Structure 1
Amino acid sequence: MAVDPTCVHCNEADETCSHLFFNCNYSKQIWQALVGGILKGAFTTDWNDIVTMVSSDRLPSTKQFLLQYTFQATVHAVWRERNGRRHGEQAKSASLLAKLVDKTIRLKLLMVDVDWPMNYMNQRFFHPDFLPHQLAP
């Protein structure tokens, strides 16, 4: 049985790692919603640039942790959504998947034992007023 190499999210390009996770319009919307506020002018959807950023220690430690965990959670969610679609599950919109990933990240932050102030999640890039309207609670 031949597997269709076309991306199940957009049906416009072949499914490569770069396309599936960050260049596909669907994934790009999710990534932008989740890290646009953290990366600001450094925001990118280029796979190599993202891997370099996630692997480096150029950002302050708190932002680096958030970027790394958001990367992991986003890749996992997009992959699960891709598999669900391939196996006949109903598609989730990019905004819904971004909300689900955002919730996963927030729950993880509540469990992390850190030296940061407990009000960290209220800082600007996670504050509801700063999030795009589709992610605000």
Structure 2
Amino acid sequence: MENLDSPSRIIPPLSVLILRRRLPTRDRLRRWGEDVPTACVLCSDGIENHHHLFFESEYSSSIWQTFASQIWDNPPTDLHSAAAWILQQHQPPNANAIALIKLIFQSSIYLIWKERNARNFTVVSSPTHALDRLLRDRLLSIKPRPPPAEYLLRFFLLIYRPP
């Protein structure tokens, strides 16, 4: 039986695969003997591995920095530092902020992986501001906590300033 406090119960499966470096990025495909290019499909500037794909490429860096910096003054700039901060067991100063940063983290990962696959298998590309729409749609579906907590969407709209 799985421990209810394990990271896989707190973080969705795609995020767990990324934290464990289990997604089939180009560096892993090459280790498996596949003949694929090493260059990152998002920026063509680095070797596509988990860290580069989700935090170093220009596309992913702009997504993460744009949204996370609305909550943190200096958001972590690597995958494991961001996950460690999110999973800290201390009481956050603002419950809405921690809920929103978890959603931003998960949605960023989803959007970046989706974009990577779209560029690999189709010619369709999405702008980096697609995360704004994804977040707003998700936040609309979340019911507010009991008073005095506010709607997460309202909190997001109060803090987020589009570039």
Category of TM-score, reference length = shorter chain: 0.7 to 0.9
Q: Which residue of 1 aligns with 2:116?
A: 82
Look up the equivalent residue of 1:51 and give its one-letter code: A
Q: Which residue of 2 aligns with 1:15?
A: 48
Q: Aligned residues, how many?
A: 125
TM-score (norm 2): 0.67
Aligned: 1:31 with 2:61: no
TM-score (norm 1): 0.79
Q: Which residue of 1 aligns with 2:107?
A: 73
Q: Which residue of 1 aligns with 2:97?
A: 63
Query: Tell me, what secondary structure is at the counterpart of 1:32?
Result: helix
Structure 1: runs of 5 or more not aligned: none
Structure 2: runs of 5 or more not aligned: 1-33
Question: Which has more radius of gyration?
Answer: 2
Query: Tell me, what secondary structure is at the counterpart of 1:74?
Result: helix
Contact 1:5 1:15 in 2 (8 A): yes
Shift of 1:122: 3.9
Q: Which residue of 2 aligns with 1:106?
A: 136
1:46 to 54, 61, 78: 78
Shift of 1:57: 4.2
Higher relative contact order (CA 8 A, sep 6+): 1
RMSD over equivalenced CA pairs, Å: 2.0
1 CA distance for matches of 2:71 and 2:111? 19
Q: Which residue of 1 aligns with 2:161?
A: 131
Q: 1:88 to 1:121 in 2, by over 3 A?
A: closer
Shift of 1:74: 0.6
